[in-house]
Amino acid sequence: MENKGAFFTGKYRNLLQEYGYSGEEINRKIRETWEQLFFGDDQIRFYHPVGADMGFITDTGNNDVRTEGMSYGMMMAVQMDNQEIFDRLWKWTKTYMWHESGVYKGYFAWSCNLDGTRRAQGPAPDGEEYFAMALLFAANRWGDREAPFNYSAQAKAILHEVVHKGENGRPGQPMWDPETKLIKFIPECNFTDPSYHVPHFYELFARWGNPEDSAFWAAAAKASREFLHKTCHPVTGLAPENAHYDGSPVHSHGHGDFYSDSYRVALNIGLDYEWFRADKGQKELANKIQTFFIDKEKFTKYTIDGKELEEPEYLHDVGLIATNAAAALASEGPVAKASVDRFWRTPLRRDQRRYYDNCLYFFTLLALSGNYRIYGA
């Protein structure tokens, strides 16, 4: 294993191949998963083209279109080198979700109906950070074109707003807390969502974003890595869905426990370690998460110290299996391999709740095969 991450070496681990799966079956699984999610039958796909030049990703469990899903779809498309789908998703996003004026100018409405009308006006910051990263990758991989496909300019406009909104008497709130440099759950609140923390993106924003904000993004990457060690439980490694800036859980409406949003923390840790290897403590953290789940046959909701909580409907087993496997990019040993093998044996989800699980599944498949890559300038 290289001492430096893939950003510095240009080398990405194919952990699936290291664990004995053949290149042919890995590539086939990637190709078939992509085809099912974007072009499969109505029981599996979540992508829908609209007219000649737009398309959207449906949150099948809630029958809406979310900035989470649209930005995820764009990231998937740029990783798979499919510019047509990327552009369709981005044009739909700009047409229906983007705020041209008002308190949210430059942000995106986080939830729309399938016809583009809005269910909510406010933004969810994880969408903005994924939009910006996917757009920068698109600019570097394919080159800029005319608006709205001047990808790098679009990304930099988003990155300016999320840091500077509200300055100089302008309306609105930034998406990052200026003092702690931590991403907020929503702009108007004073707490965070641990699964929103993607320091590997912030490292790239520091290098490719607006030059005047380079120091801010470098500090945000450092702050997020430190925060994740505070918010993940010292024994189980589990993170709450929402947390105060000191890492302690926000005990409101059950969001202080380990549940759906929390699963993404393991994926983010694994990918950050693969790309940058800036925090050696992530190895221990990833190992704790995998060790906690390794002997569990069925999942429930948990307090972050590992107590089981009864839920009438446990929603996202496949997603949890996937993200636990992605942590193997940072961990090592028997629990890492067992987590990856369990993921490999797990099929895509095919029911109404499939959207979130299958997004995490595909990101994990890309990451573990060395195909979730940095497309640099």
Which residues are annotated as catalytic?
68, 261
Buried b (16+ CB within 10 A) or exposed e, 7-38: beeeebbebbeeeebeeeebeeebeebbebbb
Residue 11 corresponds to which tokens in the numbers above?
């080398």
**Calpha distance 300→254 (Å, rounded):** 13
Exposed (0-12), middle (13-18) or buried (19+): which is 334, by Cβ within 10 Å? exposed
- Here the contacts of 1-10 (C-beta below 8 Å, separation 24 or greater) are 2/277, 3/277, 4/277, 5/273, 5/274, 5/275, 5/276, 5/277, 5/278, 6/274, 6/275, 6/373, 6/374, 7/203, 7/204, 7/275, 7/276, 7/374, 7/376, 8/276
